[in-house]
Amino acid sequence: RAAWRTARQAAPAAKAADVVAVEDGEEDDEEMADDDFGEGLVGQHEPMEVVLQSPEGTRVQVIGTTHVGDMDAEYVKMVVKTVRPDAVVIELDPQRLPRVGYSLEDIDNAVVLPQPEKQPPSGFGETLASWFAPMLRGMITRLYDGLSQSGMKTGGEFSAGIKAGMECDARIVLADMDSTTALEAFLRNVAKTNPFSMAWRFNTVMSESLGGALEKVVLEKGSFEKVTADPQLMQSMKAKMFSDKRLLERVRLEVPEYYNTFVRIRDVRLSEAITNEAARGSKEVVAVVGVAHVTGIETELGWKRVSAQGIQ
């Protein structure tokens, strides 16, 4: 934690905006308590992580990041340099490597988790999804380009993990699903239901889960645009939102179209990548993933928890 505070103090407070929705539980029967969740939503952001150990002795440090600002990047770099792992598992696919300043040719020791087999579209809705997914991917790419040009640093923790991993000769494991394939799967799921219903359900869960905290912050800042232009504020809010299992459980139950594509499938793939590295003989692994995947990975692996912080 002391190292994290040092990294946070060293990180510049550049103006930026965050993209929470598209780029991104265990059982908990407790009813969602809006006041409890909203209380303290905005504040000091510290890393969300868990250290797990397999029965055979492999240790993995799963670091949950928010994909915005410099604080997560500094922490990831510090952890990798300290642990000197055999492998660094990254929530990226080869298609998105250039967005963090790398290509497959740059990484001598890269491992790419195989992509799921593509299923041919069946029906008009799925055909439309297969056509629209690349266009949506392009729109998101242009959005990130615009954010980068405005001074926003996105995905810096992945770049930091790759660089630090290469410096200690670790395998760099690209474990995410191809982004266009993920978007197509999401659009197919939505096409089977009602897109307007899905959007309404997602908005309802998020609005109720924030418990009025976002409204309070907007009033303090003066406008929603000023809130989204503060990377440290957005980083803190996103981390605290997705560290609460109750939110993920509500999304799982009430918005399965979103949860199954953007959370569940990635939890499984990232866990598979970690398991593969353990089978290769790795004794130390660092995984750099989105905050929404930390608890899911712990559940999927079923390994002994050694330590944790930032997990509610």
Q: Which residue, chain included where needed, has tokens 């997990």?
A: 311
Q: Measuring CA to CA, how many Å separate 308 from each of 2, 72, 238, 277?
A: 15, 16, 18, 21
Percent of the chain with pLDDT over 90: 34
Q: Which residue has the higher pLDDT, 191 or 144?
A: 191
For the stretch 178-211, pLDDT in tens is 877 777 777 777 777 777 888 888 888 877 877 6
Average of per-residue pLDDT values in the chain: 74
For the stretch 266-287, pLDDT in tens is 999 999 999 999 999 999 999 9
For the stretch 20-73, pLDDT in tens is 333 443 333 333 334 444 444 444 456 789 999 999 999 999 999 876 667 788
Has residue 301 got a pLDDT over 60?
Answer: yes
DSSP 197-263: HHHHHHHHHHHHHHTTHHHHHHHHHSSHHHHHT-HHHHHHHHHHHHT-HHHHHHHHHH-HHHHIIII
pLDDT of residue 123: 54
Q: Which residue has the higher pLDDT, 263 or 270?
A: 270
Q: Three-class SS of residue 29?
A: coil
Has residue 130 got a pLDDT over 70?
Answer: no
pLDDT of residue 137: 46
pTM: 0.72
pLDDT of residue 243: 64
Q: Which residue, chain included where needed, has tokens 């949950």?
A: 64
Buried b (16+ CB within 10 A) or exposed e, 91-119: bbbbbbbebbebeeeebeebbbbeeeeee
- CA angle 232/233/236 to nearest 5° reads 85
